[in-house]
Structure 1
């Protein structure tokens, strides 16, 4: 008898955890497991600022899926359309070709993309911090600004090259500005023609507080630390316009600047918008057992799904964090197994274990299980959590070794020439313009049947 086909869309935290749990919970004879993902690694997103600053190598936070998964079939591409009635996903392979993949059970974990707004110039001139390639590009870009400034005899250009703006006062933005500022401050000692006082980092956010989830005390400590390092933190402010060499803020300040790093939140993968299903603030609405209403063979979890948070008041949904995505992926696997064995599905319930924010060196703020920590104790908790969350021993060893090397040998300021001659936009890195409409999917399948 043909084995049921379980198809997982997305190789992030939720998708990989689901595949791992299915491999452990289902004998090979019970199901065929397929994972569709454009990358052959699982990216550990919280440590991207470390890669951008050169503290960690890219391999440290991107363990190979071949090390994590043993018998899951990996399809190198991305799902760009779904026909739930026919149980078919349209996959765009990394070669650019498209193919149809059939399923009996579908787990949607396509993750999220950088949330952007209709701000003039933003899509052309902003850089993101959502993918491994973006982190590598940002590092090259920042170091190139120092090199250009050091070689320039134009005082105005030199000043503009040494202004850096990070938008987004959440964890990603705060850690990005903290790590990259440490990098440029250390680099200034190697550039005798640069005045370190001219190197200026700006962190802006429309919200009235920095990382409000941490509470006033820890959020205030993080902001005070950044300001002591020289970061200009502006709250209640956003970007009004971006050009190749300026950034205009909503308070009418005009800053000569060649670097805008955009970390102002995330939005569900555009794939969700192609389903024609109910959404909650852009995320796919699901039941507490992770099934999609009206599609009993489809489960969804992670950043792209609005999973009810049963530990809070009615109507609350789980935040799009790595912690929830990993646990939801495991729970989705349990419910897939239950469904295949005609057992009842169970609701997802998990209480958040806390938050960690690594600000570089011995500086951090953390709130594990409600306990507020700062400085070295918080850093120990933060890095211990990251090591536990990495999925292979090789990745843990590389990460620990890189941290130790950086602590003893210091930073380096080498550019690798990544996309040096080509502008890199959010759309280029995150592939947000490849998705099909439901009508496109139906036409494609009809053409296949008649052809």
Structure 2
């Protein structure tokens, strides 16, 4: 095929699903078979499971930002921006670039892997006063914020202000929230030794969740073990509790307690990217309804996967869908690439099937829980398995060396507890990082594409 007639493949999103799909397409397709384009605001893949360790300073931001341009064989065209709408009938993706310019990108095949955003509720003050833990910028910002609270508390002569700055609340008892609370508690526990004027007993971490158990996917025994580890370290865990309202200097729990705090971190789950709502297609709890082959029914050349797609879980059956995890997203990326290649070559597609490898949770230091292939572990053996899994899952050898070296250096030398400058005078909260108001409605997408088309005629 020449460059005019070769099909255009557009991949939306550079998370685990999108990047794995692009890598497989590049390996399996010759340059003449297709033109591949990737839409992403950043030219890196974020290794999301280690984000809490960036927030705590164990890892640097660069360690888990895996460059998409390191490979000498990389031939995918990258559009630096975010997809804000897709017209499935006209086969056009509407993109807002980093400069704010809105452009249209036509395609023949599209792979929708835009991921997810933080799930929020209609809680007074939540988006104005809470931090999220979903992006690299948020993790770096939270680290600066937590250290600044220690600095400000140390300098304060007001006991009430000092108490509020030294209390921290994390909402969400899943993997993200539990690891965030665990890692940041270790940060403040180690840092307070450098503040002789601060009473360590004033530093209090609260981990709350509306569910009756922490990380229920781990099972009762391992979940209880993780809970005991956290409580032993002084983290107060409240289950069956959520946030009633949030303010700049205090948070009210649904059980009536009022906690003076300047730090509320919200990690209570995720929802599909708002891009999915622009399609006007059927969804399952907000995720795009797709077949086991990850095709969108009724539309030619549309594939969807990862956090934004309700991919049937054939291993469980009974209408179950795959949970939004990195493990599933990576495997789905490979299968979608193979199915897209099969479509190009007029071969049959195969459904997505998987074998669960287990779960790992890093609680910092020597504390961890893991269930590799059904074997329950906790403590140092679990930590070895957990960190070994993360190193094995990272895409580049450079990233593996950086992360491994950072773990070793932190274990030997500790942290310097310095702020890097992300903590500016104007606070940046949950609503400021994910740009969820940037997307079009289905009608706006159709009107925009029709207007642009008529303007070219």
Bin of the TM-score, shorter chain as denominator length? over 0.9
CA RMSD, 1 decimal: 0.8
Distance 2:189 2:142 in 1: 16
**Which whole-Å deviations, capped at 9, do the CAs of 1:44-75 have from their partners, x for residues lacking one?**
00000100000001111011110257011111
Query: What is the SS of the residue equivalent to 2:132?
Result: coil
Aligned residues: 451
Aligned to 2:296: 292
- 1:379 matched to which residue of 2? 383
165, 172, 182: which one aligns with 2:176: 172
Displacement of 1:373 in angstroms is 0.5
SS of the aligned residue for 1:295 comes to coil
Query: Residues of 2 paired with 1:182 and 1:131: CA distance?
Result: 21
Equivalent residue number for residue 102 of structure 2: 98
Match of 2:155 among 131, 135, 151: 151
Displacement after TM superposition at 1:352 (Å): 1.5
Counterpart pick for 1:256 among 260, 284, 307: 260
The corresponding residue for 2:324 is 320
2:50 pairs with one of 44, 47, 51? 47
SS of the counterpart of 2:70? helix
**2:413 is aligned with 1:416:** no
Whether 2:19 is the aligned partner of 1:29: answer no
Counterpart of 2:140?
136
C-alpha distance in structure 2 between counterparts of 1:379 and 1:47, whole Å: 13
> Quick one: distance in 1 between partners of 2:428 and 2:403?
27
Alignment of 1:27-426 (within 5 A): 27-68=30-71, 70-426=74-430
Report if aligned partners of 1:427, 1:433 keep a CA contact under 8 Å in 2.
Answer: no
Query: Displacement, 1:419?
Result: 4.4
Cα distance between partner residues in 2 of 1:427 and 1:334: 37
Runs of 4+ with deviation above 2 angstroms: none
- Output the TM-score relative to the length of structure 1: 0.99
1:4 aligns with 7
C-alpha separation between the residues in 2 aligned to 1:352 and 1:431?
33
Gaps of 5+ in 2: none
Cα deviation for residue 118 of structure 1 reads: 0.4
Most deviating of 237-246 and 67-76: 67-76
| Cα shift readout 1:284-342 (whole Å, capped 9, x = no counterpart) | 00000000111131000000000000000220000000000000001000000000011
Q: Is the 8 A contact 2:54 2:140 kept in 1?
A: yes
TM-score normalised by structure 2 residue count? 0.98
In structure 2, C-alpha distance between the alignment counterparts of 1:332 and 1:313, rounded to whole Å: 20
